[in-house]
Structure 1
Amino acid sequence: MELVRSTNLSALLVLLSCFCLQFGSAIDTITAAKFINDSETIISNGGDFKLGFFSPPNSTDRYVGIWYAEISVFTVVWVANRNNPLKNSSGVLTISEDGNLVVLDGQKKILWSSNLTNSVVNLSAQLLDSGNLVLQGNTTGTFLWESFQHPSNTFIEKMKISTDVRTGKKVQLTSWTSPSDPSIGNFSAGIDARNLPELFIWNGSRPYWRSGPWNGLVFIGLQNMYSVFHDGFSLVDDKEGTIYLSFSSSNDSFPYTYVLNEQGNLLEAYSNNSGEDWEVTWSSYKTECDVYGKCGAYGSCNSHNSPICSCLRGFEPKNTEEWNRGNWTSGCVRRTPLQCERVNNGSDGGKKDGFLKLTMMKVPDLADWSSAREENCRNQCLENCSCIAYAFDAGTGCMPWTRSLIDLQKFSSGGVDLYVRVAYSELDTKEKVKVIITVSVIIVLIFTGICTYLLWRWMAKQNGRRKTKMLLYKFSGEEKLGDNVNQVKLQELLLFNLQELASATNNFHQSNKLGQGGFGPVYRGKLSNGQEIAVKRLSRDSGQGQEEFMNEVVVISKLQHRNLVRLHGCCVEGEEKMLVYEYMPNKSLDAFLFDPVKSKLLDWRRRFNIIEGICPGLLYLHRDSRLKIIPRDLKTSNILLDEELNPKISDFGLARIFGGNGDQANTTRVVGTYGYMSPEYAMKGRFSEKSDVFSFRVLLLEIVSGRRNSSFFDDEQDMSLPGFAWKMWNADNIVALTDPIICEPSFEMEILRCINVGLLCVQDFANDRPTVPIVISMLKSEIIDLPLPKQPAFTEREIAPDASSSQNNQSKCSVNNVTVTMVQGR
């Protein structure tokens, strides 16, 4: 009896093994013998996409489609039988005898087919991890048909939207009729290459929206489109007649899609919250001005005006009655004929035409292209009587227009300068009078004017230097800086005047405010030469004064290092004291590291690059600069990131300078941020290079764990991040300490080494801590065998559990009012 049971069990296992070999290894493939019914699905090899039968919301009709497999919100990206739904669950997706991929109903009627014209046998259909369903031969492996060449309403990564200039064939998106009906709707989106390549949305056969020409990085008709933000877009001319648009995201954990909805709006969305939802980040339709040709020919649309449409200067409404009723489609006509038109009519030509400059514009449709350089583009258009406008973009080149200017829009920022040809009489007469008067005055007073200006500039600069030096000399006797202050040559520091900085920041307007700290507000500005700056303005009611101000001027006025924020200059006028820095667009490190969404952009390679960037900055301050400098307030909010996420150390209001061979000092005024202070500094006021090494350890552990040091203050078990790290180190449970975002086996040893170095940097005694050069050698694995760390300092609670609420609050904040934690980039 037992022998029979054993034999039966063995036979069953053999059958199951054969079944798995036959079907389990090809779950992403369909053949004539392995079709799928309504209740079955196939899944791509990597598990990203599924293919099967589905019903849209509020519908019982059945369709064959492809959708995301790992995103909770059911999101269909492609539909086969869009116009021929199944009315029951009897459908089958299979390979027909003629080699086509087909959808059959219960009576074997073909509802949809791949429509291959050449009969091929032994074909199979495979769902790739890109979401592309391909029909291929078993021997050649070439794609005979693919769903990417027949898209629905969704544009996903690695898909190509294209147009063939020779044949007119287009691969384009088509909208659904409604959310419950995927049949082909009224709108389509694709590439139009009649002149310069542009992305268009059509309502039927009529243009509904357009992107403006492609300049190699962006579409210049999209306001504030940046190639870094719209990651991975590429428009390619294959030189064989086909132009195609594609995109690929640099972060695979955030799938991006572009969906053409039923209203003709193209929406950009990405999956967040671990695939639980889609977040819309951009849409083609924001205002009425985005509708193609809203204001007709020679009409400009501005969504901030009322009414939104207006004729260009030198033009008037073609139909005044309709225009006044708000129907602007008839557009505008020229008020005064151009010179060449008057000459052709046999009348006196008069003065030559000129160009009206329109700034921050979406360029009109139907642009031509010329190889002329920027300096020749204007003359080329002026010499051509048919040319009615021109624009120049560095990526696109010279763009002249010989047809009516249609689909003009005024942007609040971005765009390009458009020059519209108008008759001489239409140019600004006030401007002409002003030019005549100015030329006359310059001829008579040019020498006096230049001398007066130069004298005023010299006096203002000398006055500013005198005030600054008076403050410096007054401050130079303070205990904080010592005798080495006078080594700094402030004469070489650029001094700004108050009017210049007020103009750069739009009179310190609230919209330009980047953040607020103990020192005062910080504003974003733009100098007359186009350089972006961050202006740190000492608040009159601030707890700080000239001491911290001059300290920061003295410390970094002569520092030049790629990992230190650069000080461009300062301003001292009356009660005003301001510092002018380089502008850092990506905020501070803590704005990325502790943000649940942005932290995902910091993979381990970027985090390690940030760690490696902070170390050279510290090494320069401690060893390589002319004066040895101890920042004393090294923390994540004082590490700023540039456009490429390179770190720069900032905020030297609390820094101390050593001269000669000095390497440590004492102070009676302990300033800084709790949780980042070394024991000898917090308790005895003694600081040195090792004080910064202690602060660096918190930076390093915060970068590895993705958690703030202050997040442990209310924890009943773990009193600080170093204490928690020490506990996990002893428990051999480094995974609990490491940020899940960077937990990858390939980086495990590198992360372990960083944690080891971090714990070595927080030893109780300064002599036990490594110097910055040794830390760099440890991180670069130049020192292979690292010493084992001892129990770090401050593993006991820094604030007793029964302390007052005010004391608890202080434990989490900077104990001075100098440090500035930015809310936006600076």
Structure 2
Amino acid sequence: MVFAMLLLLFLGASGAGISSDTLNKGGNITDGETLLSAGGSFTLGFFSPSTTVPTKRYLGIWFTASGTGAVLWVANRDTPLNSSSGVLVMSSRVGLRLLDGSGQTAWSSNTTGASASWAAQLLESGNLVVREQSSNASLWQSFDHPSNTLLPGMRFGRNLKTGLEWSLTSWRSKDDPATGDYRRVMDTRGLPDIFTWQGSAKNYRAGPWNGRWFSGITEIASYSGMFSVQVFVSPDEIFYVVTAMPGAPFSRLVLNDDGSVQRLAWDPATQIWNVWLRSPRDFCDNYAECGTFGLCNSATASTQFCRCIDGFSPASPSQWSMRETSGGCRRHTPLDCSKGTTTDGFMVLGGVKLPDTDNALVDMSATLAQCRARCLANCSCVAYAPADIRGGGGGSGCVMWMDDIVDVRYVDRGQDLYVRLAKSEFAARKKRGVVKILAPVVASVLALMVTAMYLVWICKLRDYTNTTLLQGPSRNNGSGKKVMIGLESTSNELGDEEDLELPFLSFRDVVSATNNFSDGNMLGRGGFGKVYKGMLPNNREVAIKRLGKGSRQGAEEFRNEVVLIAKLQHRNLVRLLGYCIQGDERLLIYEYLPNKSLDCFIFVLLYVCTNRSCK
């Protein structure tokens, strides 16, 4: 009771220690109160990320416009308060101090060098800073202790002198800010590189810094108008920092609880976070997916993502056939490195993310030619590349890989990697290159030949079809002369008419052309049968006369009509195009007259002249 009364008295007397963005000595913030940065962009206060367990309370900083849905930093992420009785106080001994309901310290800034003039201020950058008011010197800042979010202006890397590491750790889950399974850190061995670790295993790698971007995240180039990405290297510290340009949207980089990384940008118009970047972006971003000397290509999903670099083959073909490629590849031919001389050479592997540089030597002062010579002189050197690609040309600086290379993939705007191979491999590559050149040429020629043969076949087939449907088959009558099939007279006395040939159509084609002699296709009816409109397979319209089975026109009359019309050729007479005989069926195929026949017009003219005066 005594402690509670003292705490209430302390809280009641502390109001004078709070301003909108600053917590002065003797001031405090209780659950429900907040600090607001000068421009209103950021808020410091208490929150519960879980709606199912609202009693767990945390002290954090969030982006004001989106509320606690975008918490950027959490003070007591592993020591939540179990009630809303927590209070943040400004202590002259340890700086900021978070107390629970019983007065126990749940978290503190642990600022050294006690002072009565300390004050905490929430800046418009989202950084919470403890300062010495008299000198304005910064003693502690939240930017030095990130949670799962990296903001513009925050350092990401390592202080080599003090051992302080600026890194990210994921939340345990979306509603639990406790330390999760994933860490995102900068590897300062070799060239600066960024890794995501899951426990003790590497999960993802951004690729070494090449002076312009991390070689596996070439999307950084698209931010040039809004953000500046820089890597600083000195004997004391190595880090990278993102600086927002004037007018750039507010953005944050988040390490999610599943190990993925997203760069999110706030759209004030729609009040949503747009995803600008996500990694890993695909299968090939999984660390060392193809093993040593393996090469991953996300565009070859139809075959296999992984293949071995030229000059290498799978170390375990049976495992690769089962899509287990982490065992990597081995050389076809050992390197030549005896007595200080070598016949080895280098193959250029273009457009890739450079390998992990854990086992690499770096010399930023060397030229690319010097890099090549040094690699050849070192029996352990298996590949080299320029360390800095700024300034055009082939780049500058030298990074050399020893013994093996791992985690190589194709990327857009990737770099050149020079891989060391035995001399005999170049002859083999030359042969394979000739095959690669000739194969498409031969394939093209074969394709053209097949196409030509197909066209010839089509033409012949069309000629055959036309001959069958428009000229009709004929057979020999034994005397060497061709006659119309089915039109021979019983006496076989054909005379000159023996040489007459007309197209013959199958009854099936006639049925198809007339829609099975439908009434909708019937043009008229005469004494000897009906006339139908038809459409031949070559899209030619015809009129088909079907002799009635009970008509007075027999075989002789049918033959006479065919002979007579076939021999009479005049522009004002309808042309006979063919015929068909199928059992009792006899059909004649005429030219179709879309404007009807001449007798219709003559009849109309006679009718008019009879009833009116004609001139």
Common fold: TM-score over 0.5: yes
Q: CA deviation at 1:32?
A: 4.2
C-alpha spacing 1:282/1:228, structure 2 compared with 1 (3 Å): closer
C-alpha spacing 1:334/1:431, structure 2 compared with 1 (3 Å): closer
- 1:77 maps to amino acid: L
Specify which of 369, 378, 381 is matched with residue 387 of structure 1.
381
* 1:322 maps to 2:319: yes
C-alpha spacing 1:156/1:434, structure 2 compared with 1 (3 Å): closer
Q: Partner residue of 2:23?
A: 30
Q: Partner residue of 1:409?
A: 409
Secondary structure of the structure 2 residue equivalent to 1:186: strand
* 1:75 maps to 2:66: no
C-alpha spacing 1:434/1:92, structure 2 compared with 1 (3 Å): closer
8 Å contact kept, 1:296–1:331 = yes
* 1:201 maps to 2:196: yes
Q: Partner residue of 1:359?
A: 350
- 2:325 maps to amino acid: W
Secondary structure of the structure 2 residue equivalent to 1:67: strand
- 2:98 maps to amino acid: V
C-alpha spacing 1:230/1:332, structure 2 compared with 1 (3 Å): farther
Q: Partner residue of 1:121?
A: 116
8 Å contact kept, 1:161–1:190 = yes
* 1:158 maps to 2:153: yes
Q: How does 1:46-57 map to 2 (within 5 A)?
A: 46-57=39-50
Q: CA deviation at 1:425?
A: 1.7
Q: CA deviation at 1:126?
A: 1.0
Q: Partner residue of 1:420?
A: 419
CA distance in 2, matches of 1:376, 1:355: 14
- The Cα offsets for residues 692-728 of structure 1, whole Å up to 9 and x where unpaired, read as xxxxxxxxxxxxxxxxxxxxxxxxxxxxxxxxxxxxx
Q: Partner residue of 1:397?
A: 397
- The Cα offsets for residues 207-251 of structure 1, whole Å up to 9 and x where unpaired, read as 222222222222222244416448433334363411121112224
Give the alignment's TM-score, normalised by structure 2: 0.62
8 Å contact kept, 1:72–1:277 = no
Specify which of 107, 115, 118 is matched with residue 112 of structure 1.
107
Q: Which runs of 4+ in 1 moved over 6 A?
A: 432-435
Structure 1: give runs of 5+ residues left out of the alignment. 1-18, 436-826
Q: Partner residue of 1:340?
A: 337
8 Å contact kept, 1:227–1:233 = no
Structure 2: give runs of 5+ residues left out of the alignment. 1-12, 391-395, 435-615
C-alpha spacing 1:135/1:109, structure 2 compared with 1 (3 Å): same
* 1:133 maps to 2:128: yes
CA distance in 2, matches of 1:354, 1:106: 71
C-alpha spacing 1:69/1:275, structure 2 compared with 1 (3 Å): farther
Larger Rg: 1 or 2?
2
Secondary structure of the structure 2 residue equivalent to 1:52: strand
* More moved, 301-310 vs 82-91: 301-310
8 Å contact kept, 1:217–1:227 = no
Q: How does 1:427-576 map to 2 (within 5 A)?
A: 427-429=426-428, 431=430
8 Å contact kept, 2:292–2:405 = yes
CA distance in 2, matches of 1:308, 1:427: 25
Q: CA deviation at 1:321?
A: 3.0
CA distance in 1, matches of 2:429, 2:209: 37
C-alpha spacing 1:333/1:429, structure 2 compared with 1 (3 Å): closer
CA distance in 2, matches of 1:81, 1:21: 24
C-alpha spacing 1:162/1:110, structure 2 compared with 1 (3 Å): same
- The Cα offsets for residues 379-399 of structure 1, whole Å up to 9 and x where unpaired, read as 332232221111235336332
8 Å contact kept, 1:214–1:235 = no
8 Å contact kept, 2:25–2:116 = no
- The Cα offsets for residues 253-304 of structure 1, whole Å up to 9 and x where unpaired, read as 6101111111111111111143611000111211111111111111111112
Q: Partner residue of 2:505?
A: none
8 Å contact kept, 1:71–1:275 = no
- 2:350 maps to amino acid: T
C-alpha spacing 1:368/1:49, structure 2 compared with 1 (3 Å): same
CA distance in 1, matches of 2:97, 2:14: 26
Q: Kindly report the root-mean-square deviation, in angstroms, between the aligned alpha carbons of the 2 structures.
A: 2.6
CA distance in 2, matches of 1:69, 1:231: 22
CA distance in 2, matches of 1:136, 1:76: 23
Richer in helix (by share) = 1
8 Å contact kept, 2:350–2:414 = yes
C-alpha spacing 1:234/1:223, structure 2 compared with 1 (3 Å): closer
Q: How does 1:655-804 map to 2 (within 5 A)?
A: none
CA distance in 2, matches of 1:433, 1:128: 62
8 Å contact kept, 1:235–1:243 = no
Q: Partner residue of 2:278?
A: 283
CA distance in 2, matches of 1:20, 1:98: 17
Q: Partner residue of 2:500?
A: none
Q: Partner residue of 1:271?
A: 266
Specify which of 358, 361, 367 is matched with residue 368 of structure 1.
361
- Percent identical among aligned pairs is 39
Q: CA deviation at 1:125?
A: 1.1
Give the alignment's TM-score, normalised by structure 1: 0.47
Q: How does 1:82-121 map to 2 (within 5 A)?
A: 82-96=77-91, 98-121=93-116
C-alpha spacing 1:81/1:21, structure 2 compared with 1 (3 Å): closer
Secondary structure of the structure 1 residue equivalent to 2:262: strand
C-alpha spacing 1:72/1:138, structure 2 compared with 1 (3 Å): closer
Q: CA deviation at 1:57?
A: 3.6
Q: CA deviation at 1:73?
A: 7.3
- The Cα offsets for residues 432-451 of structure 1, whole Å up to 9 and x where unpaired, read as 6999xxxxxxxxxxxxxxxx
> How many matched pairs?
409
8 Å contact kept, 1:99–1:122 = no
* 1:294 maps to 2:293: no
Q: CA deviation at 1:252?
A: 3.7
8 Å contact kept, 1:289–1:301 = yes
C-alpha spacing 1:375/1:173, structure 2 compared with 1 (3 Å): same
CA distance in 1, matches of 2:253, 2:272: 15
Q: How does 1:141-290 map to 2 (within 5 A)?
A: 141-226=136-221, 228-229=223-224, 231-237=226-232, 239-252=234-247, 254-274=249-269, 276-290=271-285
Secondary structure of the structure 2 residue equivalent to 1:244: strand
- 1:81 maps to amino acid: N
